Structure 1
Amino acid sequence: VAKCLLSMRIAVKSLTLVSLSLLCSLVFPVQLFEKESFTYTYLLADKSTKEAVIIDPVLETADRDVQLVKELGFKLKTAVNTHCHADHITGTGVMKKKLDTMKSAISKHSGAKADIHLSEGDKINFGQFFLSVRETPGHTDGCITLVLNDESMAFTGDTLLIRGCGRTDFQQGSPEKLYQSVHSKIFTLPAECILYPAHDYKGQTATTVAEESTYNPRLTKSLKEFVDIMDNLNLAHPKKIDVAVPANLLCGIQDL
């Protein structure tokens, strides 16, 4: 599980094996999976300082993540949620109780409780690295995309999925906003930038800006076509929405 995430896309022609190896020698990235909600959690650490950040932890796998942090000797500084999730309860609150150095973070537009409320351009530091915040509303008003400082990778939450995107029919969803977010904040990253989503339902793990801007069946359409697609998905609401959203507004547990 500790295998460098970047190895998933070593076929990207504009990235050399040397550059991949160099980044992997400095940053420790782990992609973790929660099977019930098909959620990806990401643990990133500076190998030299052991400072770390975790993205989108899930309640059911929070103990696993805490154990991994301890085993690896990391100092987890921040747990950041890319938005207020509707399909699972965040593990942030539980992790805060077990790792006293950790702070919680989420967009200021999410309406959720957290130690840190994030805005466009804010930085989440871990050692010599940082994740830059890009506000990418559309799935919800509080969606953010997190970009590593060298723009080699980005964590897109539910805004952009592999050959898809987050739904826009609840929680302040707006297909117009999502389309604009992707085209102005994600597709403007370098073509070789590796994108890691919050979910995948087909066993895929990562993609790139070049791939999605060329092959995404929704977001390569015109705005009008995209809105029509999103307005006619007719999806059932997430099973846990009535429990997950209220809990996530309180950092994942009721007594924080």
Structure 2
Amino acid sequence: MLFRQLFDAESSTYTYLIADLITKEAVLVDPVLEQVERDRKLLNELGLSLKFCLETHIHADHVTGTAKLREATSCLGVVPENAYATCADRVIRDGEVLEIGSVSIEAISTPGHTDSHMAYRVNCTHLLTGDALLIRGSGRTDFQGGDAGALYDSVTQRLFMLPDKTLVYPGHDYHGHTVSTIGEEKQSNPRFTKCNRNDFIELMKNLNLPSPKKMMEAVPANERCGNLIRI
């Protein structure tokens, strides 16, 4: 398996490139519009054929690169079940497995950050947690159908049930971290080690974070898989 972590500095977003080295089929998870040319160049350099663009959720802080990548490569856009994205080629459901050659990508429903969020377990070793579980933190829950109680349950009852050695790769990082493990997060993530469910709900209620800068543009654009409408 080929696995690459790519970073967009403006939105602090991680995009993940996953590929089977025999079939040369690839998936991009959470591509960013401004990084499409970077991603296409890397695909070409590695001799990979992009089969899917896979989203963890409808993002509010960046516009997805799916529309441009689909136009350039004829890949399929895949979004979580119940995500409002009328442009998607297909949806992925909890427990469903997306396969590229010998690589399996299992969808794990993890609502809370948004109401239709998925994490993805790759070959049972790498866990792409999107905005549900961050390294020593978690995603916010104050818009897009977010629910703090649901997020606490998603992390503690689904993600923390995976083997401790499972590698954790988040959708964002703001402190220079790149990877963790389930065992580390169970032991050291303050939002879950220092909070019970009620404490977590109260904490998330009082974060008072500013709205993402691109939210008004990003959410409607991502509901169109990254197609921008200019007036």
TM-score range for the pair, normalised by the shorter chain length: over 0.9
Aligned partners of 1:43, 1:182: CA distance in 2, in Å? 24
**Is residue 141 of structure 2 the alignment partner of residue 168 of structure 1?**
yes
* Total equivalences in the alignment: 227
**Is residue 218 of structure 2 the alignment partner of residue 247 of structure 1?**
no
Which amino acid in the other structure matches residue 84 of structure 2? G
Aligned partners of 1:123, 1:65: CA distance in 2, in Å? 24
The unaligned stretches of length 5 or more in structure 2 are none
RMSD, matched Cα: 1.0
Aligned partners of 1:244, 1:177: CA distance in 2, in Å? 24
> SS of the residue aligned with 1:251?
coil
> SS of the residue aligned with 1:168?
coil
Of 200, 204, 217, the residue aligned with 2:173 is 200
Of 56, 70, 93, the residue aligned with 2:67 is 93
Deviation at 1:156, TM superposition (A): 0.4
Deviation at 1:91, TM superposition (A): 0.5
**Is residue 179 of structure 2 the alignment partner of residue 179 of structure 1?**
no
Q: Report the equivalent of 1:135.
A: 109
Identity %: 45
Q: Report the equivalent of 2:188.
A: 215
4+ long deviations beyond 6 Å = none
Aligned partners of 1:188, 1:178: CA distance in 2, in Å? 14
Deviation at 1:48, TM superposition (A): 1.3
Q: Per-residue displacement from partner, 1:108-150 (whole Å, max 9, x unpaired)?
A: 221113111111111111111110001100000111000013x
Aligned partners of 2:128, 2:43: CA distance in 1, in Å? 20
Which amino acid in the other structure matches residue 157 of structure 2? S
Aligned partners of 1:176, 1:165: CA distance in 2, in Å? 12
How high is the TM-score relative to the length of structure 1? 0.87
The unaligned stretches of length 5 or more in structure 1 are 1-26
How high is the TM-score relative to the length of structure 2? 0.96
Deviation at 1:254, TM superposition (A): 4.3
Aligned partners of 1:170, 1:41: CA distance in 2, in Å? 22
